[in-house]
Amino acid sequence: MGLKALGEVLEHVKPQVLFHLGPIPITSTVVNTWIVMAIFLPCIYLLSRKFTLVPRGGQHVLEMVAEFFYGLLEGSMGREGRRFLPIVGTLFTFILVLNLSWFIPGMKPPTTDLSTTAGFAVATIILVQIIGIKHRGLVGYIKHFFQPIPFLFPLNVMEEMVKPVSLSLRLFANMFGEKMVVTVLFFLLPFLAPTPVMLLGVIMGTIQALVFSLLTVVYITNFIHGH
Amino acid sequence: MSFWAVALAIAIPAVGSAISQAIASRAAMENIGRQPEAAGDIRTTLILALAFMEALTLFSFVIAILLWVKM
C-alpha cells in the first residue's frame, strides 16, 4: 500500500475541468451545482406555491425551517432581527442541499471544492459589511473598528479579513474530510465499511449548514449590537 | 520519514480538539441536566463552540493534505 493508491483517492475527490466556456474552465463542481439547483428550485416552487393558514404537507417543512431561524434571530437581535431571515434561511437550505447532494450516486458535492465555499463565505461577509454600513452609517461603521480602544484597529481589521477564510475553510474541510475518509475506506474495504461513516456524513452536512448560518447570525449581530 | 509529518500534523490537533470538545460537551450536558429549561440556548452555544474547536483540526487537516500532495 503505497502513496500511489492514495494519489488515486485524491483523483476521485478533486474537481475536474469538463469544458471551457470561452476562456473560463467549467469544472464538475459548477455543473453539479447546476444539477442541484435544477432539482431544488422546482421542489421549493412546488412546496411554496399554495400557502394555507393551516399548513399541509410540504408547507410544514418550510415553516419548520423558517420558525427555527425566526427563533434564532429574535433571540439574538430582538424583533428587528426578522429582516435577516431571507439571508440566513437561504444559506442554510442551499448549503444543506449541496451537502446532502452527496447521496446522489456519482455526485461530488459542490461543497467539497474550496471555490464554492469561498464564494459563499466572501459573499456573506461582504453582505454583513453592507448591513453594518446601512445600520450604523459610514462614520459609525468606521468608528466600530476603533471601538474598545483605538490601539486595537489593526486587530479589528484583521478579524474581518480572517472571517471569510475560517468560514470557507470550515465548511470545505468538513465535507472534504468526510468524502476523503469514505473514499479511503471504500478502497480498503468496499462492502459496507463506508456506510456508518456516510451516515455520519448526513449529520455532519446538516450541522455544518447550521453552523454556517449560525455564524452569519453572529456576525450580523456583532454589527447590530456592537461588541 | 515525511509520512510522520503528515500523520502527526493531523493526529496531534485531533487529540487537542477531542479533549476540548469533551470538556465543552460535558459542561453543556451537566448544565442541561441542572437547568433543562435553558436547553435550547445551551445547545446553540455548544454547537457554535464545537464548530470553533473543530475548525482548528480542520485547518491542520488542510495543511496535512497540502503536505501530502507536495510529498
Closest chain B residue by Cα to residue A218? B48
pLDDT for the residue A2: 54
* Chain A with chain B: Cβ pairs closer than 8 A: 40
pLDDT for the residue B25: 94
Domain CATH number, residue B6: 1.20.20.10
Q: Of A70-74, A142-146, A159-163, B24-28, where does the model show the most confidence?
A: B24-28
- Cα separation, A223 vs A129, whole angstroms: 8
Q: Tell me how many domains chain A contains.
A: 1
A87 CA to chain B: closest CA distance, Å?
Answer: 19
Give which of A160, A179, A162, A164 is closest to A113, Cα–Cα: A179
Q: Give the domain range for residue B14.
A: 2-70
* Cell output for A28: 464538475
B53 CA to chain A: closest CA distance, Å?
Answer: 10
Put residue A113 in one of left, alpha, beta given phi > 0 → left and psi -120 to 50 → alpha.
beta
A170 CA to chain B: closest CA distance, Å?
Answer: 6
Q: Give the domain range for residue A141.
A: 3-49+58-225
Mean pLDDT, to the nearest integer, of A122-150? 86
Dump pLDDT digits (tens) for A95-125. 999 988 888 887 888 888 888 899 999 999 9
Closest chain A residue by Cα to residue B55? A170
Put residue A212 in one of left, alpha, beta given phi > 0 → left and psi -120 to 50 → alpha.
alpha
pLDDT for the residue B14: 92
pTM strictly above 0.90:
no
Residue B70 has pLDDT above 80, yes or no: no
Residue in the structure block whose three cell numbers are 477531542: B18
Q: Tell me how many domains chain B contains.
A: 1
Closest chain A residue by Cα to residue B54? A170
User: What length does chain A have?
Assistant: 227
Give the list of residues 6+ apart from residue A65 with CB closer than 8 angstroms, or none: A89, A92, A93
pLDDT for the residue A6: 67
Partners of residue A169 in chain B, C-beta under 8 Å: 55, 58-59, 62
Mean pLDDT, to the nearest integer, of A127-131? 90
Mean pLDDT, to the nearest integer, of A35-41? 88
Mean pLDDT of chain B: 88
